[in-house]
Amino acid sequence: MSLTASIESIYRSESRRVFATLIRLLGDFDLAEEALQDAFKVAIEQWPRDGIPANPVAWLVSAGRFKAIDGIRRRARFTPYDDVADTIESIPDGGAALDDEREHVEDDRLRLIFTCCHPSLAPDAQVALTLREVCGLTTEEIAHAFLTPAPTLAQRIVRAKSKIRDARIPYQVPGRDELPARLESVLRVIYLVFNEGYSASSGASLTRHDLSQEAIRVTRLLMQLLPEPEVMGLLALMLLHESRRQARTAANGDLIPLDEQDRSLWGREQIAEGAALIGQALSSGRFGMYSLQAAISAVHAAAPNADATDWAQIVGLYDALLRLQPSPVIELNRAVAVAMHQGPQAGLTVVNALIADGQLQNYHLAHAAKADLHRRLGHFAEARVAYAKALELTQQEPERRFLQRRLGELPH
């Protein structure tokens, strides 16, 4: 690997970790982002000459901190010297900040997630801020994922950061008495991060492995801090999904649907850990939506092949999930399970009603499901129309190729 490629790899894998620590040191999102970029600029200049340091994260944090202090001094020409000195003095040394492996609950990315998910921020702002600041998605990527205009999304992020600054929201993991109340929003945001990594909303790649791994890693940290059933359920759900990653795409990047996947490629260790976690969560009697979704994934994982899947159990779990969390997307997933259990016409009736209701009118997977059910019923003209609508709404290239292939396979 070339030096340039190595630096790019470090940026992809470590930049948000460096950023989270710089926020703690500098106390400001924008200052930390500027310091992060400055640190990598210095790395690009110095590392070709001096080599990549043994601990690049520590080096980058130190470089970013010094660059931030230089910037404060440059911008403070008309500020009383004592004020500038006090500001610089308040920035702690970065060395001790990097030992996040010794005390997992002090992990800076976990601190950052709790800050971004603070209850004083609106739920949509929590999600946007976490995806932008913790995961490093661009404003455009987040806007597309949530069907929001990019300028609207950018304003949402700016307002959230201003509120954190003006309200002096602390950059810390809450005390144990506050944790349960804060947990729901944190789990929701982590799951959205995982979903963006497991099935990227747009672009040439089906998945973004770095985001999925970050979501799993942070959930493990959270489980050490608060081993609640729903934390176990979320971790189980992510592990069970992640176990299928290698089987989900062909060598050329094309999407392979669940019923066609080579199950020998599924990660048995992840399945075993996920199944054990979901057993713990369900036996507690205090489980919620993540545990039920994980239970559905566990039924799929337990089947040696697609034909052996216990669809009746999956429909029952979706029924329980809908009672707990009514959602048109969950209803759509249940409809697909009903089609597998009772036949495509039963599923199609539900899917048509969901689309007619309007909530899933612009959801490409609803039209893809409708197309597939028409195909299975031999309604090829209707399938063609539904595939075309799904293609119109799909932004992810592997999904587009899959839908185009299905459309091309229809008899004329």
Answer yes or no: do 112 and 218 share one domain. Answer: yes
- pLDDT at residue number 75: 67
Answer yes or no: do 133 and 88 share one domain. Answer: no
What are the tokens at 83? 């004020």
State the pTM of this model. Answer: 0.76
CA distance linking residue 169 with residue 208, whole number of Å: 31
Contact 303, 244 (CB under 8 A): no
Q: Is residue 250 part of a domain?
A: no
Q: 250-296 pLDDT, tens per residue?
A: 888 888 999 999 999 999 999 999 999 999 999 998 889 999 999 99
In the three-class reduction of DSSP (H, G, I as helix; E, B as strand; rest coil), residue 249 is classed as strand
Answer yes or no: do 85 and 193 share one domain. Answer: no
Amino acid in the structure at residue 267: G
User: What is the signed CA dihedral for 68, 71, 72, 78, rounded to 10 degrees?
Assistant: 180
Answer yes or no: do 108 and 91 share one domain. Answer: no
Residue 351: phi, psi to the nearest 5? -65, -45
Specify the DSSP element, H or E, that contains 237. helix 229-242
User: Which of 226, 255, 281 is at the close of a domain?
Assistant: 226
State how many domains the chain has.
Answer: 3
Could you tell me which of 151, 172, 169, 152 has the C-alpha nearest to residue 161?
Answer: 169
Using the Cα atoms of residue 140, residue 241, residue 236 and residue 98 in order, give the sign of their dihedral. negative
Counting other chains too, the contacts that 93-101 makes at CB distance below 8 Å and 24 or more residues apart are 93/65, 94/21, 94/25, 94/58, 94/61, 94/62, 94/65, 95/58, 95/62, 97/21, 97/24, 97/25, 97/61, 98/21, 98/55, 98/57, 98/58, 98/61
pLDDT tens, residue order, the chain (412 aa): 788 888 899 998 889 889 988 998 888 898 999 999 999 999 999 999 999 999 999 999 999 998 988 887 776 665 554 444 444 445 555 544 444 433 433 478 888 888 998 989 998 899 889 888 888 888 888 887 676 889 999 999 999 999 998 998 888 888 878 877 788 888 988 898 888 777 755 444 545 677 788 889 889 988 887 889 999 999 999 999 999 999 988 888 888 999 999 999 999 999 999 999 999 999 998 889 999 999 999 999 999 999 999 999 999 999 999 999 999 999 999 999 999 999 999 999 999 999 999 889 999 999 999 999 999 999 999 999 999 999 999 988 888 999 999 999 999 7
Using the Cα atoms of residue 267, residue 270, residue 273 and residue 278 in order, give the sign of their dihedral. negative
Q: Is residue 125 part of a domain?
A: yes
Answer yes or no: do 124 and 214 share one domain. Answer: yes
Answer yes or no: do 73 and 113 share one domain. Answer: no
Answer yes or no: do 109 and 221 share one domain. Answer: yes
What is the radius of gyration, based on Cα positions, of the chain? 24
- pLDDT at residue number 93: 58
Residue 394's domain comprises 340-412
CA distance linking residue 134 with residue 405, whole number of Å: 36
Answer yes or no: do 63 and 144 share one domain. Answer: no
User: Which of 67, 96, 125 is at the close of a domain?
Assistant: 96
Answer yes or no: do 63 and 136 share one domain. Answer: no
Q: Is residue 353 part of a domain?
A: yes
User: Which of 226, 260, 285 is at the close of a domain?
Assistant: 226
Largest CA distance in the chain: 80
Q: 325-351 pLDDT, tens per residue?
A: 999 999 999 999 999 999 999 999 999
Answer yes or no: do 212 and 178 share one domain. Answer: yes
